[in-house]
Structure 1
Amino acid sequence: MRDMHDAAHFAVPARDLDEAVEFYVFGLGAKLARRYADRVTFDFFGDQLVCHLSDDIPAEAVMYPRHFGLSFARAEDFDRLVRVVEHRKLRVLAGPAVRFEGTAEQHRTIALADPSNNVIEFKNYDDPRLQY
């Protein structure tokens, strides 16, 4: 099973690698791991995100059915991300908001779009056992 040295791998299309670096590194605070002519790899909050140069870019940012993101275990980490998003004026698709209010699955969420219309959702569940 996964341990602290393993990383999930996500790959998404990017129309421009400089835009991807600007958004993920200087916007969200991810770490640049590697860069090549056709792709860029980030340490995305402990997991691996690769943006591949592509002409097949979604025409618009649509949350469903395809998005990726992170569920924060700690509320203060979610709050910190929201402050960064607001301060850096990143493109927000939805939120911050509370979903499933009054249920066991209540959580806060914010959905962003990167420059290539990939959708990233960040969450924080009231009950941390539900983040999986």
Structure 2
Amino acid sequence: MRDPGDVFHLAIPARDLDETQRFYVDGLGCHLARRYDDRITLDFFGDQVVCHLSDRWERDPGDLYPRHFGVTFRRREDFDALVRLAEARGLDVYAPVGHRFEGRVEEHLTFVLRDPSNNLLEFKHYFDPRMMH
């Protein structure tokens, strides 16, 4: 199956590459891998996100479900550091830090950001590491 060195790839629409790059690189601290006239490729926490210039981006993201993506952090301190970074850089918070499934094995913290093209990014930390997958 997947080797630990393999990289997950996700392509999403972007309405403007400059504002998209500012959000992901300057805001979230992702590494810009490549930039072309019609897309940017990012190292998104070790995986690859490609933001394609498109007029089909979401004008209204509606609800978080079913379409969103993000990272589940194994370490709580990494989750907390990203929350602080998002706050310090004034990123668009769609849903602030919340607690889900309290008292159950799948209990976790979550928060959601919205990028400039209204793509929703959810970040999580499970208290029980068995829930990572």
TM class by shorter chain equals: over 0.9
The correspondence of residues 83-122 of structure 1 with structure 2, limited to 5 A, is 83-122=84-123
Which stretches of structure 1, 4 residues or more, deviate above 4 A after TM superposition?
none
Structure 1: how far apart are the matches of 2:21 and 2:61? 18
Structure 2: how far apart are the matches of 1:3 and 1:38? 30
Unaligned runs of 5+ in 1: none
Structure-1 residue corresponding to 2:74? 73
Q: Percent identity?
A: 60
After superposition, give the CA deviation of every residue in 1:8-48 in whole Å (9 maximum; x if it has no partner). Answer: 00110000000110000000010000000000000000000
Q: TM-score, normalised by structure 1?
A: 0.97
Structure-2 residue corresponding to 1:38? 38
Structure 1 residue 78, shift from structure 2 partner: 0.1
In structure 2, what residue type is equivalent to 1:60? D
Structure 1 residue 61, shift from structure 2 partner: 2.5
Count residues in correspondence.
132
Structure 2: how far apart are the matches of 1:64 and 1:78? 21
In structure 1, what residue type is equivalent to 2:10? F
> C-alpha root-mean-square deviation of aligned residues, in Å?
0.8
